[in-house]
Structure 1
Amino acid sequence: MDCSAENLCYKLVARARNGAFGKMSKAREVGGNQRLLMVKTLSIAKESPESTAVLNHEVELLLQIKDFNHPNIVKLLDVSASTMNGRLNLTMVSQYVKEDLSTYLAKAPVSGLGRDNIKNAMLQLLSGLEFLHTNGVIHHYLNPENILVSSRGELKIADFGLAHIYKFSTAHSSCVVRLWYRAPEVLLKSTHMTAVDMWSVGCIFAELLLLKPLFDGATEVEQLQKIFQVIGLPSEENWPPNSPIPYSSMKRPKGPFTQPLPPLSHVENDLLAKCLQFLPSLRISATEALAHPFLTKR
């Protein structure tokens, strides 16, 4: 039996499995409500005083998130940190939700999820994301694997607030799946803010509609090429000047997002296009998306 700093005691009920970052274990609360819990453990090398300061800041952010209470955010129940042999060891205990959106989509009927189900999922996702952004939290790596779906159809965003910490994990660079949902400014190593999450929302929205990833590149360059096949190549003036990927390496013709994806309706394509703007400043916000006709009109 293990107990957290908040005196939340639990017993592991399933063997730990390796996730994209760290290990995850299913546990059950001892005493109290005997809730099912998810326990995630991370061990991160503290390479320098600078990285130690950043990691300490991220732990403080996690402790702040622990106080969040929103139906579309996985409840983080406890965070504890310790140092040993030059490494920072983190343990995070959260509510347990059995299924992620990736698994949910894999079981969807060939005919699709249906407009009402997609609208409901988007409303929940955007509601949770608006809450995070309002509280100064950028997810950075939103994708179907860290959006959980409860047995009652509730969507809950997970792993929020950990994106910066993950930068210290070597597993980060090899996670191809998350490549499919990264905004161009992330791929191009440019500065980014909350708009990166709205790009990911656009990719997830398309996947809800099409039941397959919209952009499935195997490398950063290939991912960009696949993106520009859909939205058109931006002008060279809008290309980040210090990007390690040169503009000259992109071979797609210039053009705005004018051709809709054939299976989608006009209103669906309009919301998708507003999420998939190359320039972050032109990308729709979570609050604006919640007011989009796709989500507000019957």
Structure 2
Amino acid sequence: MEVNGCDEHQNYEILAEIGEGAYGKVYKAREVRDQQRLVAVKKLNIPGHTESGIPAFMIREVALLRKIGYFNHPNIVKLLDVSAGLKNRSLDLTLVFEYIDQDLSTFLTTAPSTGLSLDKIKDVMVQLLQGLDFLHTNMLVHRDLKPENVLVSSRGEVKIADFGLARIYTYHIALTPCVVTLWYRAPEVLLHSGYMSSVDMWSAGCIFAELFLLRPLFRGYTEAQQLQKIFEVIGLPSEEDWPRESPISYSRSWCPRDPCTQLLSNLGQEENNLLLQCLEFSPTNRISASRALSHPFLVCA
């Protein structure tokens, strides 16, 4: 597809490429008719034998976006249109979303060197948690929460995006160890254990810390290194808290240090307490989005 001009449906004028993934690209575009509003057009191309159809994860993303779109939640990105067609023996799937100016990762690069204000951090976290609370109330777990999948508009609206790995969950979801980008991956996922919606709250905790640090809190490059970095900060959990179904054995060699009581030195007592509850090793003890919204640090946001 040409980067300039109208697409084959003649509904959207493509303005610029703004992202690229394994299966396609995302473009900034403008509606040709109606409101002529800006939109994000996600073009997915599935090469090869079309008899196999659209991959399951793509169908799941569209189905979940349709389901949650009915509620029109302000902190979830809106899916406006879907179309599919054949082109040169390949299957083209086009998703059209509301256009948001930037993601949280880009937003953080523009933050002043002195950091974000406490009020701004509270505002971002309240909106993020409201979106998560909505998803979890509707039995959905995002599974890939990271700054690149959190959008921030020029008006300060925060919206959760990219539901390609999202799932409707039961009590424990069947193991899929590749979920969640490594730096935001919960210990139970790294330990190849069962997990629940609390994996999103771990990711939210990592994002919360990043709002203060302006850099990721845990930057490992293998699963083992990521666990090591986590334990260096939160301390090594007790053997009783180690998931029994994990194929990775408990060992004190993971980290000899005692648990920390102050995760980040520049945090006040209330924000440190909320961060501790988000980064609780045990998923069942980790704070929920609903309870986090009632935390003293956020209630006055």
TM-score of the aligned structures, taking structure 2 as reference length: 0.83
Runs of 4+ in 1 over 6 A off after TM superposition: 45-49, 83-88
Tell me whether 73-82 or 288-297 shows the greater mean CA deviation.
73-82
Structure 1: segments with no counterpart, 5+ residues: 166-171
Report the RMSD for the aligned CA atoms in angstroms: 3.2
Deviation digits for residues 190-240 of structure 1 (CA, Å, limit 9, x no counterpart): 222210110011001111112221111111111110101111112233323
Aligned AA for 1:27? Answer: A
Contact in 2 for aligned 1:65/1:76 (Cα 8 Å):
no
Cα deviation, residue 25, structure 1: 1.1
* Residue of structure 1 equivalent to 2:290: 287
Aligned AA for 2:221? Answer: A
- Aligned mate of 2:159, from 134, 150, 156: 156
SS where residue 25 of structure 1 aligns? strand
Is structure 2 residue 41 aligned with structure 1 residue 39? Answer: yes
Tell me whether 99-108 or 37-46 shows the greater mean CA deviation.
37-46
* Residue of structure 2 equivalent to 1:200: 203
Is structure 2 residue 104 aligned with structure 1 residue 104? Answer: no
Cα deviation, residue 56, structure 1: 4.3
* Residue of structure 2 equivalent to 1:11: 13
Distance 1:109 1:284 in 2: 30
* Residue of structure 2 equivalent to 1:168: none
Is structure 2 residue 241 aligned with structure 1 residue 238? Answer: yes
% identical aligned pairs: 57
Distance 2:27 2:241 in 1: 44
Cα deviation, residue 44, structure 1: 5.3
Contact in 2 for aligned 1:201/1:275 (Cα 8 Å):
yes
Structure 2: segments with no counterpart, 5+ residues: 1-5, 168-176
Is structure 2 residue 139 aligned with structure 1 residue 128? Answer: no
Is structure 2 residue 273 aligned with structure 1 residue 270? Answer: yes
Distance 1:204 1:30, change over 3 A: same
Aligned AA for 1:115? Answer: L
* Residue of structure 2 equivalent to 1:223: 226
* Residue of structure 1 equivalent to 2:171: none
Cα deviation, residue 107, structure 1: 1.2
Distance 1:30 1:180, change over 3 A: same
Contact in 1 for aligned 2:262/2:272 (Cα 8 Å):
no
Distance 2:160 2:56 in 1: 27
Is structure 2 residue 25 aligned with structure 1 residue 23? Answer: yes
Structure with more helix by fraction: 1
Contact in 1 for aligned 2:75/2:128 (Cα 8 Å):
yes
Aligned AA for 2:292? Answer: A
Cα deviation, residue 34, structure 1: 0.5
Distance 1:153 1:16, change over 3 A: closer
Distance 1:11 1:43 in 2: 19
Contact in 2 for aligned 1:66/1:78 (Cα 8 Å):
no
Distance 1:84 1:253, change over 3 A: farther
Tell me whether 241-250 or 74-83 shows the greater mean CA deviation.
241-250
Cα deviation, residue 21, structure 1: 5.9
